[in-house]
Structure 1
Amino acid sequence: MVLDCADREALAAFWAQVLGYRITRETPPYIALTDPAGRDPELLLQQVPEPKQGKNRMHVDLRVPAMEPELSRVVGLGARVLRGPFDDEGCLTTVLADPEGNEFCLIVFSST
């Protein structure tokens, strides 16, 4: 996965903390973030000159066991709540933006 950004170092620090990933290499214009357990895909942050415009067509959904502790944690890291929490067909969901405005969601899947 590749995420365009204006400041790859700042966004790498944010996403590394959110995902629990490590910065594994930096080859401008990219910074690679990798899951230390090797379970999840690598995230590349690509620095680009143009600003983000409009809604993301693709975004990250993060499954969490409970909304409130994770929502407080990511907001404390610099995320901004755009919508929610709300019930999205049985899944408690919050839509957020990272420090550069890229949308992502926290989702609690019901056990039923």
Structure 2
Amino acid sequence: MATHWTLGCDAVDPRRLAAFWALALGYVAEPGYDFPDGASIIDPAGRGPAIGFLRVPEPKTAKNRMHVDIRVAGEPPWDMTERERLIRAKVGELVVAGATAVREELEDDGVLGHVVMHDPEGNEFCVA
């Protein structure tokens, strides 16, 4: 049996970052978690890990050693046209929510592989 775990994240503004990631991942605020210096989100279906955000005084200063990959197209095999449409739609939604699109990464055949992004506090993640 797998061990239950929570992804812990530092944040200057935990509530804002939790709201962004809840939108990005389809998560919801964790019921009963109401602390001024933190926020927590959960998978409403109970499959994914909880993600906690704790206030820290310093902003992010270096590249993430780990990051989240959001897989909007699911698992292969893919209809590549539909996969690209899903990726671009999610990128647009997340830009409106405060993310920044950094660059597109193409596969060897020129097909969109993923988009590298920054969340509202500059943490790297990818949409694939």
Work out which of the two has the higher radius of gyration on C-alpha atoms and give 1 or 2. 2
Asked if residue 26 in structure 1 is aligned to residue 34 in structure 2, the reply is yes
After TM superposition, the structure 1 = structure 2 runs for residues 1-112 of structure 1, keeping only pairs within 5 Å, are: 1-24=7-30, 25-65=33-73, 66-87=86-107, 92-107=113-128
Instruction: State the secondary structure of the residue aligned to 1:40.
Output: coil
TM-score scaled to structure 2, two decimals? Answer: 0.75
Structure 1 or 2: more strand by fraction: 1
The structural deviation recorded for 1:19 is: 1.1
Aligned position for 2:83: none
Post-superposition, which runs of at least 4 consecutive aligned residues in structure 1 deviate over 2 A? 26-30, 85-91
Asked if 1 retains the 8 angstrom alpha-carbon contact of 2:87 and 2:127, the reply is yes
Per-residue CA deviation, residues 39-85 of structure 1 (Å, 9 max, x unaligned), is 11111111111110110001001111131111111111111011114
Q: Using a 3 Å threshold, how does the CA distance of structure 1 residues 54 and 92 change in structure 2: closer, same or farther? A: same
Write the distance in 2 (CA, Å) between the matches of 1:85 and 1:55.
18
Number of matched pairs: 107
Write the distance in 2 (CA, Å) between the matches of 1:86 and 1:42.
31
TM-score scaled to structure 1, two decimals? Answer: 0.85
Write the distance in 2 (CA, Å) between the matches of 1:82 and 1:16.
21
Q: Using a 3 Å threshold, how does the CA distance of structure 1 residues 49 and 94 change in structure 2: closer, same or farther? A: same
Moved more, 17-26 or 83-92: 83-92
Consecutive unaligned residues of structure 2, counting only runs of 5 or more, are 1-6, 74-85
The structural deviation recorded for 1:88 is: 7.6
Instruction: State the secondary structure of the residue aligned to 1:14.
Output: helix
